[in-house]
Amino acid sequence: MKTDLLQMVDNGGCSAKLSPRQLEEFLKYLPLPDDPNILVDIDTHDDAGVYRVNDDLALVFTTDFFPPVCSDPYEFGQIAAANSISDVYAMGGDPVIALNLMMFPASKLPIETLAEILKGGSDMATEAGLRIIGGHTIDDFPPKYGLAVVGYVHPQRIITNAGARPGDSLILTKPVGTGIILAGQKLGLASSEDVSAAKSIMKQLNRSGADIMKKNNIKGATDITGYGLAGHALKMARASHVTINLNMKEVPLIGNTYRLADEGCIPGASFRNLDFAEADTFFGPEMDYNLKMIAFDAQTSGGLLICAPSGTERKIVNELKNAGLTSSSIIGYVTEFNKQYLHLKDA
C-alpha cells in the first residue's frame, strides 16, 4: 500500500507553525546584529532577510519547512518547495540556489517515500529555475520537508511588508481556504474536488505574480501563509504604520470553503491567529462568523497580497489573470493609520 502521509499529522503545512504570539515573545530574546548591509531583518516580520553584497546585488535568504499537508509524498514535496520559494518571490527576488531540509522517520517509512518527496521538491525547483545544491537529513517523526533558499534582488527594488502606502489598493492572487479544506478532508467532509483544487493552488508558484509586481514597480507585498490573510495583512499594516481595510466579501474562496467553515472545519491555528490579531483589529458590525474565521485560516503556499498604487490596480489584476492567476481580485485598500491596524468587514 502507498504511504499516506496525512495520517501521521495533526497539523500539516503552515498550520504547524508556532503561534504568532509565541513568535513575538521569543524574538525579543534574539539580538539583532548591527550591520549596514542588512537591508531587511526580523524587525518588520518580513518573509525573508535581505543582505547587500554591493550596490547592484543583494541576497534574499529564507527557509520554511513543515509536516505533510497532503497524502502523496511527491505532491507534499512539490507543495513544500513552492511554499519555501514563495518568500523570495514575495520580496521581489529571483530564486537562485537552495538546500533541502529533510526530517524523515527511516524506521517507519520506506526510503522510496523520502525519494519521492525530494523528487517533488526538485521538480518544483526546476520549474522555478532554482538549483538545489545540497541539504541535510535527520531521523524524525513525523516527516518534515522544506528548503532554505537564496535569491537575488536589486537593493533598490526590494518589496517588503513596510512598503504599504495610504491610497494603495490590495490585490490577492490566489483564493483562500487551504487550512479549512485540509481540516474538512481529515473529518471526511471535504469533497475530492475541493481537496484537489486546494492542492493545485498550493502547488502554484508565485513566480508570475512576482514578475508582474517587478514590472509594475510594486513596493509593498507579502505572501499569505500560516498566519492567514488577516494575520499577514496585520503584519504589513504594523510594519508600514498604516491601516489595512479588507472586505471579506471580495475575497475569492477555494471550492466549498465557506460551507466547510460553516460545518465547523476550522483548524486550531485559525483561533491562535485570531487571538494574536484581535486587539489590533476592528471588526465590522455583525460580521459573519465564518468569513471572520476564513480571514484567519492558516494558508499553506498561499498567494501574494500586493499593494498597488491607486490607478494601477485594474491593469495589474488584468495582467495577473492573463498570466493564469485567474482568481486575482482587489480585496481592500490602505489608509493612514486609523485607531486599529486592521479593519475587517464583510460588506
Which positions are catalytic?
14
CA distance 277 to 20: 9
Q: What sign results for the dihedral spanned by CA atoms 103, 98, 45, 245? A: negative
**Number of amino acids touching Co ion (CB under 5 A):** 5
Specify the residue, 5 or 14, whose C-beta has the smaller distance to Co ion: 14
Q: From residue 9, give the alpha-carbon distance in Å to each of 12, 20, 190, 317.
A: 6, 21, 18, 37
Specify the residue, 135 or 284, whose C-beta has the smaller distance to Co ion: 135
Residue 47 interacts with Co ion (CB under 5 A)? yes
Of 200-208, 216-224, 248-256, 310-318, the segment contacting Co ion by CB under 5 A is: 216-224
Of 64-72, 175-183, 273-281, 292-300, the segment contacting Co ion by CB under 5 A is: 64-72
Residue 46 interacts with Co ion (CB under 5 A)? no
User: Site map for Co ion, 135-174, x if CB under 5 A?
Assistant: -x--------------------------------------
CA distance 339 to 117: 46
Specify the residue, 89 or 333, whose C-beta has the smaller distance to Co ion: 89
Strands of the sheet containing 281-283, edge to edge, are 221-223, 304-308, 169-172, 329-336, 242-247, 342-345, 281-283
Strands of the sheet containing 57-66, edge to edge, are 38-40, 49-54, 57-66, 144-153, 94-103, 131-138
In the chain, count H helices and then E strands.
Answer: 11, 13
User: Site map for Co ion, 66-105, x if CB under 5 A?
Assistant: ---------------------x------------------
Of 3-11, 131-139, 289-297, 309-317, the segment contacting Co ion by CB under 5 A is: 131-139
| Site residues, Co ion (CB under 5 A) | 47, 64, 87, 136, 223
